[in-house]
Structure 1
Amino acid sequence: MKVLKASASEISQEDFNEGIIYETPCFEPQGGFRYVFQWTDPKNKNDAGKDIISKMFTRVAYIHPTESKVLVKYTGNEKISSKLPHGNAKSDQRVNTPFVPTMPSLLREMEEGTSCPSNTYRMMLHKAPRDINIQTVQAPRNLKQVQNTMQNAGQKFRLSRDALYNLHKIAYDSTFVKKIITFPDLIVIAWDNNITEVLISLFKRSDLPFLGFFYDTTFKLGDFYCSIMSFIETEFTNQPTIPAFFMIHERKTFATHDLFWKEVADNLTGLSSAGNVYIITDEEAAIVGAISKNLPEIAVYRCWNHILQNVAFKLGKLGIKTKAEVAKYADDVRELLEQPDNESYTRFHKYVGHRPRVVPLQKYLYARLYGIFDNRVGRGYI
């Protein structure tokens, strides 16, 4: 951008006086057009844009030395000017989409935002002009732009790159992370408020099927455990399973799961008295004990998937590893779980136990599944 000097200037004060004054930059002017961009806030000074110099089309801006004005001149044929994609564009869609830069003052406003990115994005859209062409440069491109701009601005003042610091920064910048404990063990509990509102709205709904919660722990995401409580969205025809509460933790202890389920009980208003909720989880004593302590009114059932996984693991130890053999015994266990009452269960249990090579498995099943209706697992009990 050229700066107008007091002497030997390419233009004069009269050029500024004769130009049409705009308080916002013009969008795609034609060749031969000139206007004066005038600002009231110094941070808008650079909104007039950058110079474009070519043989066929030229755009030059002159800053007035003493007044808050910029004279912008266009010469040549604007139709031959190239509309280029963003320099980092890789996908076909972005490569074929002309890039229109956002006004610098708008980027500064994003950087100075004190609210979370989603709120900042909504407020800026609300203030933007209704004209779609003007919105192209005077409104955020999308939520991702606001998030990236605010994040990059925060990087300049970040005190540390430490993972725990980053975790607290995420908690501060969003409403997702609700609790962080760092000593003696790291525990992070998180949930989305919109999801919990939907979940609470399903309590005591006699017009819908019973509402199932599922709780499980995985250690396949990294050097930590991640426990997730999901629920069945019974208002939908296909009844999707939606994750609701998350916990990252270092150890699988009763105290850890107790803390998680206390948060669930405290933040799902009306859960204990809902009357239409049941929970399915592993047989792990720490988990079952934590749920029973915090939600004694809710029925808890053992997960059949975990039982079948444990049976497959036991069969492997017994040397039964082929898919056909494992499937045969898995079908037997599944049929065992489907028995309608304790008498049928006992009879079928003895029948399975007399099959070849299954005596060690029978002992395992007796230890884990016998008294099935007292252990919250059989179809008849459910």
Structure 2
Amino acid sequence: MLQSIVYTTRFTPLSKQEVLALLENPKDEMISTLPAINPNHGDVYLYSYKGRPEAKKDWRADQLRWVHKGVHSLPKKNPTIVKTYHQRIICGMREKFYRYGYESTDERVRMVVVHYLSGCTRGIVDRYPQCSDDGTLPSLLENIDSSRNGFKIETVDASNFHVQLPESVGQISHKMKNVRTKRKMSREDLYGVYDLHFALDNFIRNLILMPEFIIVVSLPEIVNLYNEVCSINQHQLLSYDTTFRLGEYFVSPIVFKCPFFEEQPSIPLAAMISDNRSIDVHKIFFRAMNDITVNFDCSDVRLVTDREWTMTSALDSVIRNIKHVFRWDHILKDVGSWLTTHKHRAAKLDYLTHIRQLLDSDSEEDFQRLYEGYLKEWSQPFVLYFEENIKYDILHKSGKWLLNELGIYTSDIGVTSNVSESMNALLKRLTAWKDVNLEQMVLALYFLQTFYLKEVLRGRCGTGNYRLREEYVHLAMDSASVVFNDDYFYLTPDDIIAFLENKSWNLTQNVDS
């Protein structure tokens, strides 16, 4: 039940011990799940967002305007409480009325003690809700951002309805308009991609407009190369570990290693362009990969990804046989971010070393032995974080003993970084652009695949940068017998950037020419 209720009244500041007592032994019937309503001098609220992580900051939306005054850790060494200060503003003037928010550093405590104090005894007299900085619940705004079919406000009775309402109808209308505008594909984008479907024969494999917007691209000759690799090589390593943000869209490439050459180049097999990263989007892409190739969802394929939840959930629900693993650097990056955010900077290096040693365990038993020792050194919040977010992924997706069984372990780093450097660099350079359109994205991916196709053919002819390995010399080709498709443009990654920067070109016409 949603409610806003004064827990107690206190006209002097709360001590750290008093705050901890409130958080550790709360009276359930006095807990608030909505921001304060008409708060007065001395009012103490115990706000809970248990089961509602999106509502963590909703306690601030009390319909008053505040200026942030700072954050303090109590005590400074090994803090247990984080105290946030705000001072009230009325029409630009600072009043002697303050709001203090107390939060535990223990993530399991999903409550906030909110205390209102005045520098005078009159409390709050003048109210200007139209001046509110925190007038709309942050969770409501987040709901609008992620919603496709509007939103709803859950309420109980008229006494607390106004703190759940948006600050103004105009604010929500503007917010929803922005969300729709971001998701709407322009007419030029649609026509441009549709034209490219005919200009680039069989390159655009899927073009879905609704309910999800998705483009799946893959060069047929690259797919044939991948199928040839799978037919000759027992195990195949794929990578789907990076999603690039280009303008208003996301680009998610799948890359495979070509073992024919000494350099073992990483080659883009396919890519998806989408307007979001939902589970349904990834499911569509994985199903498309099953249709595009004959050797995707099989036990001989090892797929390396990052730990993006929507991606891994879609993979687990659609793909049954592929061997799915995580890269170590993603796990270490996530742990490092948590340590920095949760004031564990002093112990960051030691904790990261511990995680790396757990990843590099020779067996599950070795992992368990190390883990039991580290439990004595780690803080309780970090133990909770590790058990809820990291432990399973090491035991089932990343441990050295698992990677060794799959034949993909590389000393000290886990799985070899297998994203093509040139492809990675190209897409990262594109991310700096704010006006990348769909037509440019499709062409960039097309040119990238034709570049790798030509490099592979040159390598098999003994004239390129790739050298055939001794066990694959039977795959050598006579350059006189190789005919390059006249419809293809062969551009290096640097050429692709230069091509896309030339805004005066009619891109579709140049492909056809």
How big is the shift at 1:195?
Answer: 1.4
Equivalent-residue separation in structure 1 for 2:394 and 2:350 (angstroms): 24
Kindly report which structure 2 residues correspond to 1:137-286, keeping only aligned pairs within 5 A, or say none. Answer: 162-175=188-201, 176-206=203-233, 210-273=235-298, 275-286=299-310
How big is the shift at 1:350?
Answer: 2.7
Q: Is the 8 A contact 2:243 2:252 kept in 1?
A: yes
Structure 2 portions without partners, runs of 5+: 1-185, 404-513
Partner of 2:65: none
> Normalized against structure 1, the TM-score is what?
0.52
CA deviations on 1:167-211 (whole Å, 9 max, x unpaired) are: 2122221132221112233211111112111111111435x6x32
Q: Is the 8 A contact 2:300 2:323 kept in 1?
A: no
Q: 1:370 aligns with which of 391, 394, 413?
A: 391
Q: In 2 relative to 1, CA 270–211 (structure 1 residues): closer, same or farther, beyond 3 Å?
A: closer
Equivalent-residue separation in structure 1 for 2:208 and 2:223 (angstroms): 22
How big is the shift at 1:364?
Answer: 1.5
Q: 1:311 aligns with which of 335, 345, 348?
A: 335
| 1:351 aligned onto 2:373 | yes
Equivalent-residue separation in structure 1 for 2:337 and 2:240 (angstroms): 21
Equivalent-residue separation in structure 2 for 1:293 and 1:366 (angstroms): 23
> What is the total number of aligned residue pairs between the two structures?
217
How big is the shift at 1:296?
Answer: 1.1
Kindly report which structure 2 residues correspond to 1:40-79, keeping only aligned pairs within 5 A, or say none. Answer: none
Q: Is the 8 A contact 1:196 1:244 kept in 2?
A: yes
CA deviations on 1:311-365 (whole Å, 9 max, x unpaired) are: 111011122458xx64443332122111122221122123333336x44323212
Partner of 1:340: 362
Identical aligned residues as a percent: 23
Alignment RMSD, CA only? 2.5
Q: 1:360 aligns with which of 336, 356, 381?
A: 381
Q: Is the 8 A contact 1:337 1:378 kept in 2?
A: yes
Q: In 2 relative to 1, CA 200–366 (structure 1 residues): closer, same or farther, beyond 3 Å?
A: same
Q: Is the 8 A contact 2:364 2:395 kept in 1?
A: no
How big is the shift at 1:292?
Answer: 3.5
Q: Is the 8 A contact 2:236 2:257 kept in 1?
A: yes
Q: In 2 relative to 1, CA 161–364 (structure 1 residues): closer, same or farther, beyond 3 Å?
A: closer
CA deviations on 1:11-33 (whole Å, 9 max, x unpaired) are: xxxxxxxxxxxxxxxxxxxxxxx
Larger relative contact order, structure 1 or 2 (CA cutoff 8 Å, min sep 6) = 2
In structure 2, what residue type is equivalent to 1:169? D
Q: Is the 8 A contact 1:204 1:276 kept in 2?
A: no
Q: Is the 8 A contact 2:359 2:394 kept in 1?
A: no
1:201 aligned counterpart, secondary structure: helix
In structure 2, what residue type is equivalent to 1:332? H
Q: In 2 relative to 1, CA 308–235 (structure 1 residues): closer, same or farther, beyond 3 Å?
A: same
1:202 aligned counterpart, secondary structure: helix
How big is the shift at 1:373?
Answer: 6.2
Equivalent-residue separation in structure 1 for 2:228 and 2:390 (angstroms): 36
How big is the shift at 1:374?
Answer: 4.9
- Larger-Rg structure: 1
In structure 1, what residue type is equivalent to 2:197? A
2:212 aligned counterpart, secondary structure: coil
Equivalent-residue separation in structure 1 for 2:361 and 2:393 (angstroms): 10
In structure 1, what residue type is equivalent to 2:290? A
CA deviations on 1:290-316 (whole Å, 9 max, x unpaired) are: 334443121111232221121111011
